[in-house]
Structure 1
Amino acid sequence: MFLVKPERRRLLQVGATVAVIALGLASRAFPQFVPAALGKYPGDALWAMMIFFALGIIATRMRTWQLALTALLICFAVEFGQLIQAPWLVALRAHPLGHLALGSAFGWVDLIAYTAGVAVAAIIDKLALFKRR
């Protein structure tokens, strides 16, 4: 008898990705609804959650901890990439979409926000998005 490896529900992953994108954009467009003490960090955490859920669309059979680690590595790579200030990269980051995807300035606290966002996404994934057989 073969063990069937559980997989993520792709449609739920798409829904989670879209919902998190909407929340992230709203957190930046309407900062008055985010506690001032949290600053921009809820948006950073939501960005990391979006990376996790978007990866889950593709990697439906990856274990939650592997997906979380991959998402964190991507988030950290993008953040450390902000230390590179090549002219073409600075120009790309100046565009609104480039800024949303790549950020602009390195910040150590962003790494904490990404970790928190991925942790929340992993909990949601484990509880609701991962199909058990």
Structure 2
Amino acid sequence: MLLPVRFKPAYFAGAFILFFAEVLIALYAHDQIIRPYIGDMLVVILIYCFVKAFVNTPVTSTAVAVLIFAYTVEVMQYFKIVTLLGLQHSAIARVVIGTSFEWIDLIAYTVGIAIVLLSENIVAPKQGIRMQA
């Protein structure tokens, strides 16, 4: 089954802005809230926007797929996948995959996807914004 491909600049711009925000958080936020929780919340929104920038799929199924992906990465952290793959010396692998499992990260991912669903299904339609087209 091939996914319907259609480039959507608004989603791409959103992904780009969120990526920039994530980089700033990684470089400059060394706190107890923004880096660990806001960053995790934003990363699922970033992934959602990136997927939607290129693939024309329904909002809910895309959001659920991104959430499952995020949960899977977090569970892989629990099982120390970076070490199992022999990538413990790779800074990129440690940053992208992560190295420490936290239950609260699952909540942050869920909140991020809830924001996506609220934005797509409630806020955007009331504001006359059509991100789907």
Q: TM tier, shorter chain?
A: 0.7 to 0.9
Partner deviation per Cα, 1:88-133 (whole Å, 9 max, x = no partner):
53x435433222321111110000011111222333444146235x
Partner of 2:131: 130
Give unpaired runs (5+ residues) of structure 2.
none
Partner of 2:69: 74
> What fraction of aligned residue pairs are identical, expressed as a percent?
20
Q: Higher relative CO (CA 8 A, sep ≥ 6), structure 1 or 2?
A: 1
- The 2-side partners of 1:48 and 1:14 are apart by 14
- Decide whether aligned partners of structure 1 residues 73 and 129 sit closer, same or farther in structure 2, where only a CA change above 3 A counts: farther
Partner deviation per Cα, 1:42-98 (whole Å, 9 max, x = no partner):
1111111111111212322x2111111011000001000112235353x43543322
Q: CA deviation at 1:11?
A: 1.0
Paired residues, number: 122
Higher mean C-alpha deviation, range 18-27 or range 116-125: 116-125
- Decide whether aligned partners of structure 1 residues 53 and 37 sit closer, same or farther in structure 2, where only a CA change above 3 A counts: closer
Partner of 1:56: 52
Partner of 2:19: 21
Q: Name the aligned partner's letter for residue 48 of structure 1.
A: V
Matches within 5 A, 1:1-133: 10-31=8-29, 36-38=32-34, 40-60=36-56, 62-85=57-80, 87-89=83-85, 91-92=86-87, 94-126=89-121, 127=124, 128=129, 130-131=131-132
Aligned 8 A contact 1:24 1:46 in 2:
yes
Given the two structures, how large is their TM-score scaled by the length of structure 1? 0.76
- The 2-side partners of 1:15 and 1:115 are apart by 22
